[in-house]
Amino acid sequence: MGPEILGELVDRHARALVLYARQWCAAPEDVVQEAFLKMVSYQPAPNRIVPWLYRVVRNAAISASRADRRRRRYEAAAAECVLPWFEASADTVLDGRTVAQLLQALPAELREAITLHLWGGLTFEEIAEVTGNSSSTAHRWYASGLELLRERLRIHVRTEF
For the chain, the structural domain boundaries read 3-81, 96-160
Percentage of the residues of the chain whose pLDDT score is greater than 70: 86
Longest dimension (CA), the chain: 72
What is the 8-class DSSP label of residue 86? -
| Residue ranges of E strands in the chain | none
Domains 3-81 and 96-160 share a fold: no
Which pLDDT band, with edges at 50, 70 and 90, does 42 fall under?
A: confident
pTM beyond 0.85: the answer is no
Q: Which residue has the higher pLDDT, 107 or 153?
A: 107
What topology is assigned to 96-160 in CATH? Arc Repressor Mutant, subunit A (1.10.10)
d(CA 118, CA 121) in angstroms, rounded, equals 6
Question: Are 106 and 148 within 8 A, CB to CB?
Answer: yes
What topology is assigned to 3-81 in CATH? Rna Polymerase Sigma Factor; Chain: A (1.10.1740)
Determine the straight-line distance between the first and last CA of the chain, rounded to whole angstroms: 68
Return the pLDDT at 2: 78
Which pLDDT band, with edges at 50, 70 and 90, does 82 fall under?
A: low
d(CA 125, CA 158) in angstroms, rounded, equals 36
Return the pLDDT at 161: 46
d(CA 138, CA 112) in angstroms, rounded, equals 9
Question: Over 60: is that where the pLDDT of 93 sits?
Answer: no
